[in-house]
Structure 1
Amino acid sequence: MRRILTGSGITVMCACAVIPVCAEPSPGRLPDPDCAVVVPASPADVPAPDDVPESLAVAHRFATGAGVRVAVIDTGVTPHPRLPPVIPGGDLVVVGERREDEPPLPDGAVDDCDGHGTIVAGILAAHPSPDDGVVGVAPGVELISIRQTSSRRAAKTVGAGGSLASLTDAINLALDGGARVINISLVSCLPPGTADRVDTHDFDAALARAEEHGTVIVAAAGNKDERCPAGSTVLPAHRPTVVSVSSLDTARTIAEYSIDGPGPLLSAPGRVPLALSPDGVGFTVGLAESSGPREFEGTSFSAPVISGTAALLMELHPADSAAGIRARLVGAVDPATGAVDPAEAVTHLPADYRGIPHPVTVTAPVEPPDGVRARTGVTVTILLCAVGLMLTIRYTARFRLRRTGRHAGQ
């Protein structure tokens, strides 16, 4: 899915700070004509239990992201049996009016009517199952959902949300909720020539606050289209403390739709053949549209691979700063494509490891007691005397033998 938000959207009408509570997995969302329709997966689409990606199988021997809290700033995350309990972290969408006979809506943070945030969360944190080979990059994390935009729930007179101001509020909500990793798969795109005219003071302050908290922010690099042409400034991806993630089209090529960023190149697959369904049960292979099924593809779905990998590294290196985790990610990438492999990342030894001072303890030799030293001296003296006596006897015998030989010759 290639969903890009403009940077000149509405201002935030309200920001709801929600006390973190866990939403129980839903048995399935009731049909809602306002929401996106997904294409259910067939049994043939679901990998067998022994088809878990090798990279994840290896990585999970070292870490699963346990104890690391990750915030997904997106269109909401529908609770799903294969996800960790979803913690509602806030809803920044002004919901449109509903008729009195319509059922009440769930908390906005756990209402993914757009079919986007749940896909992202599944890539990042799906739990394994003995029945199939589906698993997220970091299935042990704690998951916070913050709804920052929705093209289907928002009031038409207000818009979808997704302004730079609401993104700023969402980052602060995530930090208030204790997030150590923040995944942002929705971006604010400033076309060429417009970035200098946008006030980013509050936004940059939120990024600085994340850095102080040791929180890593991972964001989609953005997808080129008429609203976000090449050369655009993409926020937050183009900020120096943010990990920008491009999409891989193949194992060796970056997708043409990925917008180039000023920082280090990091990438992950952008095409998702199978995802957790935003209906709350089962799997999906795409969105049903009038033109036919549309698969999930874009930098939105590359970002959670890197967010999950950052969570694995945080579990292994809890004392690292945000800059330290970023350095570990960058140090382990494929130099040609920037591809991040979770197994490579968690087992990678930094290139400067040999240059890092390591304390070495040298134990001084222990002086022997005086009695031992005296006995040792006596023993050595006796041995030397014995050797000297043997040499004297041998020399004397050879001298006599020579004299005997001379007399015999005479």
Structure 2
Amino acid sequence: MHRAAATARAGRDEPLQHVAPRQHPARQLMNGTTTTARLLAATLLAVLVPAAPVAGAQPQDSQPNGTQAEQDAGPTPPPLTDRIKPENDGQPDRPYTRTSVGCVTSLDGNVQLQEKAWGQDVLRFQDLSAFATGANQTVAVIDTGVNQHDYLAGRLEGGGDYVEAGGDGLSDCDGHGTQVAGIIAAKPPSDDIGFRGIAPDAKILSIRQSSEFYEYKPPQGSQEEGRASAGSLDTLAEAVVEAADRNVDVINMSVDTCRAAANVPITASERNLQRALRYAVEEKDVVLVSSAGNIPGPNCREQNNSDPANPRFIVSPPWFSEYVLSVAAVDRSGDPAGFSMHGPWVSVAAPGTEIISLNPGDRDGLVNVTADEKGEQTPIQGTSFAAPYVAGLAALVRERFEKLGQPLTAKQIMERIKITAAHPAANGGHNIQVGYGMVNPVSALTTMIPAEENIPPDEAVEVPFEMPPPHERDWAPVQVAVIGSAGGLGLLLLTLFVVHTVRRQRGDRPDLS
């Protein structure tokens, strides 16, 4: 908003000039003498009797320009009225089969990347190891599975498979989950390799929950609809329960669904997911991180509207912001990425463009492109790759304060990450594009937060505005100087008068010679 400043011009009236009629020289002298005496008397009176000080102009009370808007709250899902734990049988919800396309393999061999990921510099990876590395922390990656990779050697464990019965989660046909895991915990064998994960000593528990390379074909003659991909909100809820029961510290969910918000109450599947998220956070003390969602998508091809109270689309799990840190994507310049879904539930933001991560088809390779089902290569980008930066940060925060003997709960960790983010210039430091802003790992690891120390928040204190007292000028030195000058002037005038009188009398004396 631009404010126009008004400039006032102050004019000053010039005094009128009065011309006196011409007088006789002697009368002029006498009048001049009289006028001088009057001026002298007025001057002495002004000096000897100081004028009363002028009262300082008091500023008017500042009036607000309109009423302050309420902080963006946005629609929230109906609260839970029960504490039911969702059932989990550890099996796919349907018998999926692999499509004829095949799986993602190594992309153009072992690509030699000349630059490290820009997000590592922005988030100051080089400084984080002084505080934490993710040691003794386990991050569950609920995704498309994670392939074995040398940069995860000894720290990757299978946690289950909801795509293919009997799987262990260590098969990634899409490549997506492997790249997500690399952003969290990749640890190269040599310091000469610039790429690394934000929490390079963290463990990864892989649970395969979805895949674009699997489909469901209903039996011949069945009225059931087929599916072009594997995964659902129901299996996501089961995967969350599975990870929580394995006592992980953090769960990363770079998977989400989007639907129209208008006139659609919460569905049974969404309610089941809400129960799973509550169970993980409140009963198992797990930090939950989710991607904010991308556009265009199957059901949401347009950006959400700008009214935080009435979004056009709802994205899950981010909708359940009471339990989830939802992460938007920003680009290299720090601007919200054009594909990042907006919403009042967005918590924070992280790098989501020009991504570098593990090559899912090469055990010791890196990659900065991905391939779709047609084999077409595109740069790696999306909120899916912003979320693991925050999941890894949560692991660092948890480790850091456990080492300090001040362990934090899952909700405290999530709140700390939001409080220490670089807030946007918006009401309450929050907007629907980037939430509370780009995460700041060093600040999240080092800032003292009063609430964690049981220090109550500051209260507003009314501070009255007072002008300083008027300056009382000491007039004594001025009075002495003026009186002395006036006395000297008086003597000068008296002398001139006497001399003039003597000369005049001499000029009027008759000549006796």
Normalised by the length of structure 2, the TM-score is 0.58
Deviation track 1:310-353 (CA, whole Å, cap 9, x = no partner) reads: 00000012321111001110111011251013223212232668
**Would the alpha carbon gap of residues 265 and 16 (structure 1) be closer, same or farther in structure 2, given more than 3 Å must change?**
closer
- Please name the residue that 1:306 is paired with: 390
Deviation track 1:347-374 (CA, whole Å, cap 9, x = no partner) reads: 22326689728xxxxxxxxxxxxxxxxx
Deviation track 1:38-63 (CA, whole Å, cap 9, x = no partner) reads: 34453243549xx9777111111100
* SS of residue matched to 1:143: strand
2:213 pairs, out of 145, 152, 155, with 152
- Please name the residue that 2:286 is paired with: 215
- Give the Cα–Cα distance (whole angstroms) in 2 for the partners of residues 82 and 94 of structure 1: 26
Q: What letter is aligned with 1:284? A: V
Whether 1:203 aligns to 2:273 is yes
- Please name the residue that 2:446 is paired with: 347
Contact 2:370 2:379 in 1 (8 A): yes
- Give the Cα–Cα distance (whole angstroms) in 2 for the partners of residues 281 and 194 of structure 1: 50
**Would the alpha carbon gap of residues 344 and 108 (structure 1) be closer, same or farther in structure 2, given more than 3 Å must change?**
same
Deviation track 1:247-303 (CA, whole Å, cap 9, x = no partner) reads: 002343111221223235400011144210111331112124558520111100000
- Give the Cα–Cα distance (whole angstroms) in 2 for the partners of residues 131 and 340 of structure 1: 27
- Give the Cα–Cα distance (whole angstroms) in 1 for the partners of residues 409 and 88 of structure 2: 34
- Please name the residue that 2:103 is paired with: 35
Q: Which runs of 5+ in 1 are unaligned?
A: 1-11, 18-31, 96-105, 358-410
User: Quick one: percent identity of the two aligned structures?
Assistant: 33
Normalised by the length of structure 1, the TM-score is 0.71
* SS of residue matched to 2:329: strand
**Would the alpha carbon gap of residues 295 and 197 (structure 1) be closer, same or farther in structure 2, given more than 3 Å must change?**
same
**Would the alpha carbon gap of residues 301 and 348 (structure 1) be closer, same or farther in structure 2, given more than 3 Å must change?**
same
2:315 pairs, out of 212, 231, 234, with 234
In terms of mean alpha carbon deviation, does 59-68 or 196-205 score higher? 196-205
Q: What letter is aligned with 2:202? A: V
Q: What letter is aligned with 2:198? A: V
- State how 1:165-314 maps to structure 2 within 5 Å: 165-193=234-262, 195-199=264-268, 200-211=270-281, 212-226=283-297, 227-228=299-300, 229=302, 230=304, 231-239=312-320, 240-263=322-345, 265-279=347-361, 280-288=363-371, 292-314=376-398
Residue 194 of structure 1: how far off its partner (Å): 6.3
* SS of residue matched to 2:276: helix
- Give the Cα–Cα distance (whole angstroms) in 2 for the partners of residues 219 and 354 of structure 1: 28
- State how 1:64-143 maps to structure 2 within 5 Å: 64-84=133-153, 85-94=155-164, 107-128=167-188, 129-143=190-204
Q: What letter is aligned with 1:283? A: L
Contact 2:134 2:200 in 1 (8 A): yes
Contact 1:195 1:233 in 2 (8 A): no
**Would the alpha carbon gap of residues 47 and 197 (structure 1) be closer, same or farther in structure 2, given more than 3 Å must change?**
closer
**Would the alpha carbon gap of residues 172 and 343 (structure 1) be closer, same or farther in structure 2, given more than 3 Å must change?**
same
**Would the alpha carbon gap of residues 340 and 41 (structure 1) be closer, same or farther in structure 2, given more than 3 Å must change?**
farther
- Give the Cα–Cα distance (whole angstroms) in 2 for the partners of residues 153 and 70 of structure 1: 25
Deviation track 1:214-265 (CA, whole Å, cap 9, x = no partner) reads: 1011000001215224232111111121001000023431112212232354
Whether 1:15 aligns to 2:118 is no
* SS of residue matched to 2:160: strand
- Give the Cα–Cα distance (whole angstroms) in 1 for the partners of residues 356 and 249 of structure 2: 27
Q: What letter is aligned with 2:176? A: H
* SS of residue matched to 2:327: strand
**Would the alpha carbon gap of residues 65 and 242 (structure 1) be closer, same or farther in structure 2, given more than 3 Å must change?**
same
Contact 1:41 1:285 in 2 (8 A): no
- Give the Cα–Cα distance (whole angstroms) in 2 for the partners of residues 86 and 275 of structure 1: 16
In terms of mean alpha carbon deviation, does 165-174 or 228-237 score higher? 228-237
Residue 201 of structure 1: how far off its partner (Å): 3.0
Q: Which runs of 5+ in 2 are unaligned?
A: 1-86, 93-99, 219-225, 305-311, 425-433, 457-513
1:335 pairs, out of 401, 412, 423, with 423
**Would the alpha carbon gap of residues 13 and 150 (structure 1) be closer, same or farther in structure 2, given more than 3 Å must change?**
farther
Deviation track 1:135-165 (CA, whole Å, cap 9, x = no partner) reads: 1011111110000011214444463222110
- Give the Cα–Cα distance (whole angstroms) in 1 for the partners of residues 123 and 394 of structure 2: 18
**Would the alpha carbon gap of residues 205 and 33 (structure 1) be closer, same or farther in structure 2, given more than 3 Å must change?**
closer
Deviation track 1:9-40 (CA, whole Å, cap 9, x = no partner) reads: xxx996249xxxxxxxxxxxxxx961124344
- Give the Cα–Cα distance (whole angstroms) in 1 for the partners of residues 328 and 371 of structure 2: 25
- Give the Cα–Cα distance (whole angstroms) in 1 for the partners of residues 135 and 263 of structure 2: 42
- Give the Cα–Cα distance (whole angstroms) in 2 for the partners of residues 52 and 253 of structure 1: 16
- How many pairs were matched up? 320
* SS of residue matched to 2:151: coil
- State how 1:388-403 maps to structure 2 within 5 Å: none
Q: What letter is aligned with 1:112? A: D
**Bigger Rg, which one:** 2
* SS of residue matched to 1:254: coil
Q: What letter is aligned with 1:347? A: T
**Would the alpha carbon gap of residues 162 and 223 (structure 1) be closer, same or farther in structure 2, given more than 3 Å must change?**
same
Deviation track 1:180-202 (CA, whole Å, cap 9, x = no partner) reads: 10000011222223641511332
- Give the Cα–Cα distance (whole angstroms) in 2 for the partners of residues 156 and 112 of structure 1: 21
